[in-house]
Structure 1
C-alpha cells in the first residue's frame, strides 16, 4: 500500500543518544510520516559506522540532542509515499545516503557530492522546502521525523513529546521502524542476507569506491592502505579485485593486519614497530613509493606519511574523517615536480544503486568475503556492540532488531 498522509504517526523503539558522549538508551519514540518522497521501513539490521561514533562523542558536531543516529540500515518496506516509484511494500532494501537526485552532481553520477548533501544528511530533520512541497499543515512539528514520547520525555521538558535530532543520512536507522527518504533505499533480492550486507550502505562502499572510483586503481599497480578498519579492509579487497600487484596494509594492531592478509593484502606494516616509509620502499624495491594510497584514519601525521610514500604521479585519497579544524602541510615543490595528487573522497563517490548490486555479486562469487569482518549483536546487547567497536575487538558490528516485535504480517 502507498501512503500520502504526512500527518500519520507511528510508535516504535529506537536507540536514543540522550546527550553527547552518553550511552545510548533503548526508548519508545514517535515517527512522523512518511511524506510523499519517503518510505516506512522495518529495520532488520543496522551496521555501526565510525561516523556514528564520531557524532556520539562530539568529534563531529550534531546540532542537538536527544538524537537517533544510524545510517547503515537494512530492512523491509512497509509503506511508500506517492512520489516513490522504485520500491514497494514487501521489498527488501539496503539504505545509503540521502540526495536530491536533480542537482548537477547527482545527475552526473556523483550523489555523495549533492548540493543539498549537508542539510539532507546532517540537518537533523526535514527542510522547510520539502515540507512546503508536501503541503504539510503544521509543518514545524513535522520538520522532525522523530519525537520522544510519554515517560521517555526528559524531565526538563514541559511538553508531552520532545523532538529528536533525526533524519540522519535520511534514515536514522538505529530504530526498529524508520522514516527513510526514498533516495536512500536500494532494492535488493529477496534472498539477500540483510544483516550481513547492512554495512554496504556506507563504510564498505566507501572503501571499495575509493579504490574503484576515486583512485581508479589499475592492474599491476602498487597500493598502500593506511588504517585496517572496515573501510580500509574494504579498500584492500577492492585493490585485489582490481588485480593490483602490491597491496600494503598499515595499522597499529597486528590482529587487523592478519585479517588484512587474509583479505588480500600482499604485505602488512605494523606502524607501532616499523618505519613505515622505509618498509614501503623495501616492499616496492624502489625509493619511488606506491602508485596509489588511501588514508582511512583521518590522523594528520598519518596523512603526511601517506603523502611521502607516493611515487611520481602517485595519487592519494582521503576517506578518514578528522575533526573539522585539522590540517596537513603539503610539500608544494615535491607535489608539483612529481605530479602527485591528494584528493578527498566522500562515500567512495558511489552510486548506491550500482555499487550495492556489484558487491552482492562479488560476495556471492567468493571475491569479496565480507563475512570475515562482520560480527552480530542483538539490539538489547547494544552497549557491548559499541564497546567492542571502540576497543577494536571487532571490525564491523551489526545490530539485529529481530528480537523486537515485528509489524510485518
Structure 2
C-alpha cells in the first residue's frame, strides 16, 4: 500500500513529503489511517539527532486516526474505531506489570530506535528501508503502523483531528499534576514554562483544586493565556532578580508545595527546587539530556525533606488516562483547543518553524481530507 509521509534524511531537516510503501500489520500491530497529528518539541530533538534516532526516518508521535486493519491477535480495537496513538511499551517488564508503562524497561528501543524488535520497519521506498516505529507510530504520515499496546479507542463524537496531543503533550502536563505529584486541593503549584505541557499542567492544577497556581514564562501572550486557563499569578522571569525569591514573595516566604519544570534548563530546575516549601516536590518534565548535571543545594533539599524527581509521559497509563482527558475536555475543564493551530500536512515545515519560533504553542497537522474541527 502506498502512503505519503514526511521523511527526515539529514540532521536538522527539512521534512520531505515522499511516497512510501507500508506493510500490512503483523501480529499485534494496528494499521491506522491518520486524521491528524501534533507537532511536539521531542520531534525536533529526534530530527536533530540529540536522541539516538536513525535516518532516514518518519517521525511524529501525537497521532489520531481510524483503524483500517489489525494483525493477528489484536482484540482491543477493530477496523473503523477512532483511536489516539501514544507511546509504546512492552507490557511485561516490572514497570509495565505495575501499571507504569512510561518507565518501561524497553522504553528507548520501542520508541526511539526506528524499527521493530526484529530490526524491520514496515516502511520503504523502492526497496530502501525508511526507519519508522517512532513511539510505536511514526504518524507524520497519512497512515501509521501501531501496536495494540499504544492505541487507545476514543469516542466517535469527539473531534478526532483535535485529539492527537492527548497522547503526549497534554498527557504529560496533566499527568504530572494528577498522577505523578497528585496535587492536593488547597495547595500551591508553580509551572516553569507554559507551552503545551505547562498549560496542560495549569489546567490540571485547577481541576485538582490548587489554591495558588503560578505560571512562569518570558512570553507575555502565554502568561495571558495561562491566566485565562487557571493561573492565579504570573511571573516574567526576564525582569531581573532571583526567580525562587519572586515565588517566595507570592507565598509569604513559605514557598510552593509543587514545582514543575518544562524548560529542561539546569539553572531553572535549580530555582524550582529552591522555591519549594518544606516537604515540597519538584518534577522535571522537560527533555533533560543524558550527561546534563542539575545543580542542587544539598542543605536546602535535606533540611526541608524536599524532593526532586523526573517524570516521563505524566506517569500515565494511556489506556486509562487518555479517556479521562477526553472526559475533562468534554466537561470544559481541559480546553486545550485554546492553544492549538491547524496546518495542512503539506505545510509541515511551516508548522515546525512557527513552533520553534514560539508563535504557535501546539501545531496540529491535518492529513488530506481531514477538515478543521468546528468549535
* Candidates 59, 83, 88, aligned match of 1:98: 88
Structure 2 equivalent of residue 31 of structure 1: 22
Structure 1 SS opposite 2:58? coil
Q: Deviations over 1:139-194 (max 9, x none)?
A: x6xx1221123xxxxxxxxxxx2112210000000010111111111001111211
Structure 2 equivalent of residue 386 of structure 1: 352
- Residues 1:52 and 2:43 aligned together: yes
Gaps of 5+ in 1: 1-9, 129-139, 150-160, 405-409
- Residues 1:147 and 2:124 aligned together: yes
Give aligned pairs, total: 369
- Residues 1:77 and 2:54 aligned together: no
* Candidates 180, 184, 188, aligned match of 1:214: 180
Q: Deviations over 1:306-363 (max 9, x none)?
A: 1111111100111100232211122222211110000110000101111111111111
Structure 2 equivalent of residue 280 of structure 1: 247
Conserved in 1, the CA contact under 8 Å of 2:245 and 2:275?
Answer: no
Structure 1 equivalent of residue 160 of structure 2: 194
* Candidates 305, 308, 311, aligned match of 1:342: 308
Q: Deviations over 1:205-226 (max 9, x none)?
A: 0001111111111010010000
**What displacement does 1:402 show?**
2.7
Task: For 1:181 and 1:86, locate their aligned partners in 2 and report how far apart those are by CA, in whole Å.
Answer: 10
C-alpha RMSD of matched pairs (Å): 1.2
Task: For 1:203 and 1:88, locate their aligned partners in 2 and report how far apart those are by CA, in whole Å.
Answer: 26
**What displacement does 1:403 show?**
4.0
- Residues 1:115 and 2:105 aligned together: yes
Structure 2 SS opposite 1:272? helix
Task: For 1:278 and 1:41, locate their aligned partners in 2 and report how far apart those are by CA, in whole Å.
Answer: 49
Task: For 1:344 and 1:395, locate their aligned partners in 2 and report how far apart those are by CA, in whole Å.
Answer: 23
Structure 2 SS opposite 1:366? coil
Structure 2 equivalent of residue 16 of structure 1: 7
Rg: which structure is higher? 1
**What displacement does 1:373 show?**
0.8
- Residues 1:355 and 2:346 aligned together: no
**What displacement does 1:383 show?**
1.6
**What displacement does 1:293 show?**
0.5
Structure 1 equivalent of residue 373 of structure 2: none
Structure 1 SS opposite 2:277? strand
Task: For 2:246 and 2:259, locate their aligned partners in 1 and report how far apart those are by CA, in whole Å.
Answer: 15
Conserved in 2, the CA contact under 8 Å of 1:98 and 1:181?
Answer: yes
Structure 1 SS opposite 2:87? coil
Task: Report 1:128-143 matches (<5 A).
Answer: 128=118, 143=120
Task: Report 1:193-342 matches (<5 A).
Answer: 193-275=159-241, 276-286=243-253, 288-342=254-308
**What displacement does 1:274 show?**
4.3
Conserved in 2, the CA contact under 8 Å of 1:379 and 1:403?
Answer: no
Task: For 2:6 and 2:297, locate their aligned partners in 1 and report how far apart those are by CA, in whole Å.
Answer: 45
Conserved in 2, the CA contact under 8 Å of 1:378 and 1:403?
Answer: no
